[in-house]
């Protein structure tokens, strides 16, 4: 074989190797830019099916479908692109994560008006269509082929030039980890060209986790059902990930439990207590601490009870604040 043929063969090997690497890289990366400038990413629809969506320009009219997604938009100063809120909880009127987000939230609500704020519920597909959104960002139950999908099929919206996006940390228990969390922020950062900001946020989250790596504690995340029972989110939830990744042990399986299990939890160091608009925020912690049947639960004895709305446990910016509070309680 002469020198020319050797060079051609070597070049062919290099091309094949590069192509194979790029193919593998695309398989590992759930998002990427096409040659024509279109941004493509993968997200979940109702029923847990992973779908591919494409965006050719930064969205300007966004329907936001839950409070964690709302806080992500606010955190990265994207509130001016929101045209409507679904499943909004009154709790956030006075208990948003941080003061700067509260101010941004108030600005959004004033601008879009009460008619475009759907409290604890979704909107109809017909009404959503009149808003002419170019992105729907919210619960995975908002879109899909399932007849119960709040806003109908993904195809319907794609035909109208609207992409769909759900959060991995809410869509699948197998995504309730740092990889799912990172992918959620990477995709949002790429879509809105704020990747530098989202990267900084993720690094801060990872750093807070790393600082807690050697902690030794037991914690749980619960809702108070009534005076005799409570609901636990389980170890495979995002709060479960926050606890176990911090070096802690998560207590109670997912589902409803009799209060007696909480009474006998003499190894429970921290309770993350989920708050809704129907809850009396100020009295919930007192309610637990004044309950004499819980006198032998360390979390109750020492007042180590973290009150959080859903954004604080579902992978939104509030989850970083939850993690910081957890660190303060178990590192002292």
Tell which of 157, 183, 209 closes a domain: 209
How many domains would you assign to the chain? 2
Structure token pair of residue 293 = 């049947």
The answer as to whether 86 is a domain residue is yes
| pLDDT tens by residue, 205-240 | 999 998 887 788 999 999 988 888 999 999 999 999
Is residue 205 domain-shared with residue 218, that is, in the same domain?
Answer: no
The answer as to whether 18 is a domain residue is no
Is residue 47 domain-shared with residue 195, that is, in the same domain?
Answer: yes
| Model pLDDT, residue 251 | 96
The answer as to whether 312 is a domain residue is yes
Is residue 109 domain-shared with residue 204, that is, in the same domain?
Answer: yes
**Confidence band for 120, pLDDT divided at 50, 70 and 90:** confident
Is residue 154 domain-shared with residue 218, that is, in the same domain?
Answer: no
Please provide the distance, in angstroms rounded to a whole number, between the alpha carbons at the two ends of the chain. 72
Q: pTM for the full model?
A: 0.85
Helix (H) or strand (E) holding 246: none
| Residue 266 belongs to domain with CATH number | 3.40.50.1980
pLDDT for residue 47 is more than 70: yes
**C-alpha closest to that of 231 among 283, 280, 273, 285:** 273
The answer as to whether 25 is a domain residue is no
Rounded to an integer, the average pLDDT of 298-304 is 94
**Confidence band for 33, pLDDT divided at 50, 70 and 90:** low
Tell which of 149, 175, 209 closes a domain: 209
**Confidence band for 56, pLDDT divided at 50, 70 and 90:** very high
Tell which of 170, 192, 209 closes a domain: 209
Structure token pair of residue 210 = 């790393």
| pLDDT tens by residue, 121-171 | 889 999 999 999 999 999 888 898 878 888 999 999 999 999 999 999 988
Is residue 256 domain-shared with residue 305, that is, in the same domain?
Answer: yes
Is residue 239 domain-shared with residue 289, that is, in the same domain?
Answer: yes
Residue 280 structural domain: 213-331
| Model pLDDT, residue 17 | 46
Is residue 84 domain-shared with residue 199, that is, in the same domain?
Answer: yes
Is residue 247 domain-shared with residue 198, that is, in the same domain?
Answer: no
Angle at 227 between CA 222 and CA 231, to 5 degrees: 25
Strand partners, 31: 41
How far apart, in Å, are the Cα atoms of 294 and each of 218, 256, 301, 303?
A: 16, 18, 8, 12
| pLDDT tens by residue, 249-277 | 999 999 999 999 999 999 999 999 988 76
**Confidence band for 27, pLDDT divided at 50, 70 and 90:** very low
How far is 283 from 98, CA to CA, in rounded Å? 21
């Amino acid at each position: 074989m002469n020198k020319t043929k050797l060079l051609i063969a070597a070049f062919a090997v290099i091309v094949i190797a590069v192509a194979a690497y790029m193919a593998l890289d695309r398989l590992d990366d759930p998002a990427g830019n096409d040659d024509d400038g279109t941004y493509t990413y993968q997200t979940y629809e109702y029923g847990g099916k992973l779908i591919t969506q494409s965006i050719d320009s930064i969205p300007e009219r966004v329907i936001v479908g839950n409070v964690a997604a709302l806080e992500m938009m606010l955190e990265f100063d994207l509130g001016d692109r929101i045209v409507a809120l679904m499943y909004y909880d009154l709790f956030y009127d006075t208990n948003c994560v941080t003061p700067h987000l509260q101010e941004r939230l108030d600005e959004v609500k004033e601008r879009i008006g009460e008619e475009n704020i759907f409290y604890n519920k979704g909107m109809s597909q017909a009404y959503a269509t009149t808003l002419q959104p170019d992105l729907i960002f919210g619960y995975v139950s908002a879109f899909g082929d399932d007849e119960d999908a709040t806003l109908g099929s993904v195809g319907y919206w794609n035909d109208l030039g609207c992409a769909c996006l759900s959060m991995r940390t809410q869509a699948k228990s197998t995504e309730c980890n740092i990889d799912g969390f990172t992918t959620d922020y990477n995709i949002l950062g790429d879509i809105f060209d704020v990747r530098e900001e989202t990267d900084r946020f993720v690094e801060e989250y990872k750093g807070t986790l790393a600082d807690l790596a050697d902690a030794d504690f037991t914690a749980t995340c619960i809702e108070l059902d009534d005076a005799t029972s409570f609901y636990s989110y389980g170890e495979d939830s995002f709060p479960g990930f926050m606890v176990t990744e911090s070096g802690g042990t998560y207590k109670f399986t997912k589902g409803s439990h009799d209060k007696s299990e909480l009474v006998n939890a003499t190894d429970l160091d921290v309770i993350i207590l989920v708050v809704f608009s129907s809850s009396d925020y100020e009295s919930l912690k007192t309610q637990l601490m004044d309950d004499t049947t819980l006198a032998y639960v360390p979390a109750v004895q020492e007042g180590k009870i973290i009150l959080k709305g859903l954004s604080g446990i579902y992978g939104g910016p509030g989850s970083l604040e939850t993690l910081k509070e957890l660190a303060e309680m178990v590192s002292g």
